[in-house]
């Protein structure tokens, strides 16, 4: 990757030739990134080293928006392309280039240190070793994909914004196979963090072993009334699926219908939901979003009551609130859209998971998800396919190979009686979703 | 875009020389060039909201030595990107190539995108959405409709091989009514006008109110429409026959040449079917595309392979999501030969059960053979006739049981599937297609719900 500075971004913004009097404004964006991907499988090792640079331009005119993106060699065409069909787009209030922010940094893109191949290999070796120890020979690693990347971004607008910032990402995706006399099962587990050393390999290995062996060693459990304890690995993906209800003003109608225009609580008083790019243990560690707005900690549900929304600049104008810094760009070639950073259930008033387990008189401890949870906010339904343990008087009585926990989503959220203090994150959308252990007493379908 | 592959050839002699100079004894490898153009619109019930043009260009240099392989990727698809990637690959592989700097003729500018043409297309798309949803009251639509063109070429040590240019229209998103949300996914490689007509029909169908009638849970016999059957074949037969099974293989590779389905069932992976979205001229390693028999007369036959799994015997199924990722053996178009039964005859043979019209997503575990199909649209079948429409549910079984319980007669026409679009494996999506006749499978398990 070229690390030297040039004036391509400035030229791109100048090339947009915005007519401020006609209500035009523009935002130019640059991303530089390097990443390595190390793949180990039965056939050997594959190393991919990627260096990239890309540009994007958004033009705004009287509420209309058009977007164009390209690598450097074609960036001079972006203004013309963005103008092509700008007039055909529908207008929407709030669409305009963002102005300067108070804490703008010097507009310099610091060259990135390339991710380290030797460390990546050592990390995969550690994971393999942890898996062998946890799985006691019954679980093997079919494929492991470790990706480590770093990037710098810069946003400049005709309204005076000029912000540069950097971030990192590390992801480990492992496919494991469990084999016992009862048969064989393969499963995929993944973890992400802002740096490779924060990947919590031992925890991922433990989860992989449970995910591969519980379906082989346990017995199916028919849905029955009982207490329900959701491990963070099961609860966090469900929490992640709640996030779109808080995206700007898009989810307003849905949220209003689920809470009868705010007359009902969204969840039980034990639950508070937060989005925070600096949350400890969260996979996202960034200072700014894809529009150059500084991230903030946003309280979305306070003790069961919906109080906040996640917004980009346009949604913030429509909501008449300051932007929360949640415009996410998945790549330079996609326009920013509202998304989460680290979206989680606040564990600050939680108790230890052991205390929650002791409170389980007779019920199911869902330890690992067996498939992606089904969460349909519109029809107020959810469904979890999980494996775990049947628990009596706080002790595991039997391994459960699979069971379904389903019902009304609103009832589940309002039935959470206590939360743990063991917040853990899973990758979700462009960021992460986190939850501690959740305790739901006397659930009708577990 | 049609000239893009020719653009890739402009420095042909130089590029081939650079790649051949890179490879040392015991190494194989190639360079890969890609240009991807995507024009998308955000569509809501009120109309087209925000247009987005995205151009991505990239070059990857790949080296293989024994069990190790290396990929170095750079943005840009011209001579400079190739030289930069070769330098880095060589440095990492322990070599030190001397690449003479030579003045390369600047690439001719692409044909300017024509504003009237884009305006016309936007207007046609807007009109198609209006036709599909003439009265959007009570409906909330959040769709991304994209026109995508991807051109690829592989530079080997001997020549530049054109993989071809693939164009497709894609639409993904959600339709919401007061108490239900329905995922929507559509893809076609048909030309613009018929593609819009097909999108209109699919959207109009998807916008119908979700039936409240639910499928009974438990064992069930199901007739699959050609589109739904394509998804079944892709998951149940295609994925287990990708040459990536690890040391113990998959549920089908563990039983080579075994009769797993009724005689007369022929399933092929066929990237040469130009009318289907998973087609190409050569795969992403430059091996010419060819049809591979997966099931022959009901017996397990071949695997789809790449150079890593089969060396020079690769049968042309190395595919990558984009230039940044290494190719792997992946499916293309799964094509099933037709039988002689009409749909009514299959319904008659089914007796009581389900008629599956549309599957929105599916997944399979090639190790255990368990698969799940998420059914978006289906009808009850009673006494051999179609009955009430049903709300979403899932069908599960294992591959060997489902193939064993396949009715010996299939439908008499093998139709291309519109719903089968992007196959995501390991987080990497490739365009796939399918063509299948209607089929009847007995003894599946119906489970309520939707992903």
**In chain B, positions 330-349, which contact chain A (CB-CB < 8 Å)?**
none
Residue (of A146, A152, A111) closest to A126 by Cα position: A146
Minimum distance, in Å, between the CA of residue B242 and any CA atom of chain A: 14
Query: Per-residue pLDDT tens for A86-136?
Result: 877 888 888 888 877 765 554 455 555 667 889 999 999 999 999 999 998
pLDDT of residue A102: 65
pLDDT of residue A3: 45
B365 touches chain A (CB under 8 A): yes
pLDDT of residue A2: 44
- With CB atoms and an 8 Å threshold, state whether A70 touches B50: no
- With CB atoms and an 8 Å threshold, state whether B69 touches A47: yes
Report the C-alpha gap between B223 and B267 in whole angstroms.
Answer: 18
Structural tokens at position B254? 């563990």
Mean pLDDT of chain B: 88
- With CB atoms and an 8 Å threshold, state whether B122 touches A81: no
Residue A409 has pLDDT above 90, yes or no: yes
- With CB atoms and an 8 Å threshold, state whether A53 touches B75: yes
Average pLDDT over residues B205-211: 82
Structural tokens at position B303? 């695997």
Residue among B55, B65, B89, B392 with most chain A CBs within 10 A, to mutate: B55
Report the C-alpha gap between B101 and B83 in whole angstroms.
Answer: 9
B78 touches chain A (CB under 8 A): yes
Q: How far is CA A191 from CA A159, A173, A204, A214, B451, in A?
A: 39, 7, 7, 20, 21
- With CB atoms and an 8 Å threshold, state whether B69 touches A45: yes
pLDDT of residue A406: 87
- With CB atoms and an 8 Å threshold, state whether A173 touches B427: yes
Residue among A256, A336, A337, A376 with most chain B CBs within 10 A, to mutate: A376
Report the C-alpha gap between B361 and B349 in whole angstroms.
Answer: 27
Enumerate residues 6+ apart whose C-beta is below 8 A from B436: B224, B226, B229, B230, B232, B233, B334, B335, B336, B410, B414, B415, B417
Residue in the block written with tokens 């203004």: A79
Percent over 70 (pLDDT), chain B: 92
Report the C-alpha gap between A46 and A293 in whole angstroms.
Answer: 37
Confidence label for A429 from pLDDT (cuts 50, 70 and 90): confident
Give chain A positions within 8 Å (CB) of B122: 85, 88
Write the residue in B55, B67, B115 that is nearest to A43 by C-beta. Answer: B67
Residue among A32, A36, A69, A90 with most chain B CBs within 10 A, to mutate: A90
Residue with the larger pLDDT of the pair A299 and B47: A299
Strands (E), B348-414: 353-364, 370-382, 385-390, 393-398
Helices (H), A218-348: 232-242, 252-258, 313-319
CB B415 within 8 A of CB B227: yes
pLDDT of residue B451: 39
Confidence label for B125 from pLDDT (cuts 50, 70 and 90): very high
Average pLDDT over residues B20-44: 91
CA-based end-to-end distance of chain A: 53
How would DSSP label each residue in A306-366? E---B--HHHHHHHTS---S-EE-SSTTS--EE--SEEEE--TT-B-HHHHHHT-SEEEEE
Give chain A positions within 8 Å (CB) of B71: 46-49
Report the C-alpha gap between A19 and A17 in whole angstroms.
Answer: 6
Structural tokens at position A376? 């349909």
Residue (of B219, B142, B139, B152) closest to B180 by Cα position: B139
Neighbours of B342 (CB within 10 A): 13
Write the residue in B51, B67, B325 that is nearest to A45 by C-beta. Answer: B67
Give chain B positions within 8 Å (CB) of A374: 449-451
pLDDT of residue A107: 47
CB A275 within 8 A of CB A310: yes
- With CB atoms and an 8 Å threshold, state whether A88 touches B49: no
Confidence label for B109 from pLDDT (cuts 50, 70 and 90): very low
Report the C-alpha gap between B391 and B181 in whole angstroms.
Answer: 12
Minimum distance, in Å, between the CA of residue B342 and any CA atom of chain A: 36
Q: pTM for the full model? A: 0.90
- With CB atoms and an 8 Å threshold, state whether A48 touches B73: yes
A288: three-class secondary structure by DSSP: strand
Residue B179 has pLDDT above 80, yes or no: no
Beta-ladder partners of B39? B53, B147
pLDDT of residue B3: 67
Beta-ladder partners of B186? B171
């Amino acid at each position: 990757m070229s690390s030297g500075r040039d004036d391509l971004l400035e030229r791109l913004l100048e090339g947009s030739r915005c007519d401020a009097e006609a209500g035009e404004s523009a935002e130019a964006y640059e991303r530089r990134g390097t990443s390595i991907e190390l793949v180990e499988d039965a056939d050997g090792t594959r190393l991919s080293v990627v260096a990239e640079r890309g540009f994007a331009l958004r033009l705004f005119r009287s509420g209309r928006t058009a977007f164009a993106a390209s690598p450097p060699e074609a960036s001079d065409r972006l203004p013309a392309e963005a103008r092509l069909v700008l007039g055909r787009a529908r207008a929407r209030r709030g669409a305009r280039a963002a102005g300067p922010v108070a804490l703008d940094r010097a507009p310099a893109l610091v060259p990135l240190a390339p991710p380290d191949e030797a460390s990546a290999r050592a990390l995969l070796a550690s994971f393999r070793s942890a898996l062998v120890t946890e799985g006691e020979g019954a679980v093997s690693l079919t494929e492991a994909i470790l990706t480590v990347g770093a990037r710098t971004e810069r946003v400049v607008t005709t309204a005076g914004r000029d912000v540069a910032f950097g971030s990192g990402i590390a992801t480990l995706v492992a496919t494991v196979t469990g084999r016992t006399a009862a048969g064989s099962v393969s499963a995929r587990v993944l973890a992400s963090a802002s740096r490779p050393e924060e990947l919590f390999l031992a925890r991922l290995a433990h989860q992989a072993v449970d995910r591969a062996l519980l379906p082989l060693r346990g017995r199916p459990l028919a849905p029955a009334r009982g207490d329900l304890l959701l491990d963070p690995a099961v609860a966090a993906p469900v929490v992640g699926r709640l996030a779109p209800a808080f995206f700007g003003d898009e989810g307003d109608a849905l949220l209003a219908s689920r809470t009868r225009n705010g007359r009902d609580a969204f969840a039980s008083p034990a639950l508070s939901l937060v989005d925070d790019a600096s949350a400890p243990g969260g996979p996202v560690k960034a200072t700014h979003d894809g529009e150059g707005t500084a991230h903030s900690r946003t309280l979305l549900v306070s003790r069961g009551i919906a109080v906040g929304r996640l917004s980009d600049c346009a949604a913030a104008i429509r909501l008449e609130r300051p932007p929360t810094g949640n415009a996410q760009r998945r790549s330079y070639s996609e326009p920013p859209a509202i998304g989460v950073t680290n979206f989680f259930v606040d564990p600050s008033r939680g108790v230890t998971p052991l205390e929650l387990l002791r409170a389980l008189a007779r019920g199911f401890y869902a330890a690992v998800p067996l498939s992606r949870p089904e969460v349909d906010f519109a029809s107020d339904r959810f469904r979890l396919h999980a494996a775990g343990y049947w628990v009596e008087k706080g002790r595991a009585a039997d391994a459960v190979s699979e069971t379904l926990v389903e019902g009304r989503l609103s009832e589940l959220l309002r039935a959470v009686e206590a939360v743990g203090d063991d917040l853990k994150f899973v990758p979700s959308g462009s960021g992460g979703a986190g939850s501690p252990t959740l305790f739901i007493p006397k659930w009708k379908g577990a | 875009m049609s000239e893009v592959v020719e653009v890739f050839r402009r420095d042909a002699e130089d590029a081939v020389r650079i790649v051949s100079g890179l490879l040392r004894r015991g190494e194989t490898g190639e360079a890969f060039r890609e240009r991807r153009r995507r024009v998308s619109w955000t569509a809501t019930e009120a109309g087209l909201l925000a247009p987005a043009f995205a151009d991505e260009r990239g070059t990857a240099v790949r080296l293989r030595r024994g069990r190790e392989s290396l990929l170095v990727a750079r943005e840009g698809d011209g001579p400079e990107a190739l030289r930069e990637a070769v330098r880095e690959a060589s440095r990492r592989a322990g070599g030190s190539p001397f690449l003479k700097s030579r003045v390369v003729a600047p690439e001719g500018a692409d044909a300017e995108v024509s504003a009237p043409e884009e305006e016309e297309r936007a207007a046609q798309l807007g009109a198609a959405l209006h036709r599909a949803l003439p009265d959007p009251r009570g409906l909330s639509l959040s769709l991304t409709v994209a026109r995508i063109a991807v051109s690829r070429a592989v530079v080997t040590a001997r020549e530049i091989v054109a993989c071809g240019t693939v164009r497709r229209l894609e639409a993904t998103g959600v339709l919401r009514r007061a108490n239900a949300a329905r995922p929507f996914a559509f893809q076609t490689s048909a030309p613009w006008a018929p593609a819009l007509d097909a999108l209109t029909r699919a959207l109009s169908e998807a916008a119908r109110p979700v039936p409240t009638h639910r499928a009974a849970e438990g064992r069930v016999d199901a007739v699959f429409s050609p589109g739904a059957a394509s998804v079944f074949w892709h998951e149940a037969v295609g994925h287990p026959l990708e040459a990536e099974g690890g040391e113990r293989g998959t549920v089908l590779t563990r039983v080579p040449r075994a009769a797993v389905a009724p005689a007369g069932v022929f399933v092929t992976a066929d990237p040469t079917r130009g009318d289907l979205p998973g087609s190409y001229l050569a795969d992403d390693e430059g091996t010419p595309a060819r049809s591979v028999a997966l099931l022959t007369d009901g017996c397990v036959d071949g695997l789809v392979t790449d150079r890593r799994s089969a060396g020079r015997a690769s049968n042309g199924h190395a595919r990558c999501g984009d230039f940044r990722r290494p190719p792997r053996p992946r499916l293309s178009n799964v094509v099933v030969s037709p039988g002689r039964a009409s749909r009514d005859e299959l319904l008659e043979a089914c007796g009581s059960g389900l008629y599956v019209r549309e599957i929105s997503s599916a997944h399979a575990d090639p190790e255990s053979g368990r698969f799940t199909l998420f059914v978006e649209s289906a009808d009850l079948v009673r006494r051999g006739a179609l009955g009430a429409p049903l709300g979403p549910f899932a069908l599960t079984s294992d591959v060997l049981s489902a193939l064993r319980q396949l009715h010996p007669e299939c439908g008499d026409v093998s139709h291309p599937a519109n719903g089968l679009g992007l196959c995501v494996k390991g987080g990497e999506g490739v365009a796939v297609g399918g063509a299948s006749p209607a089929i009847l499978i007995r003894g599946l398990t119906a489970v309520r719900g939707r992903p």
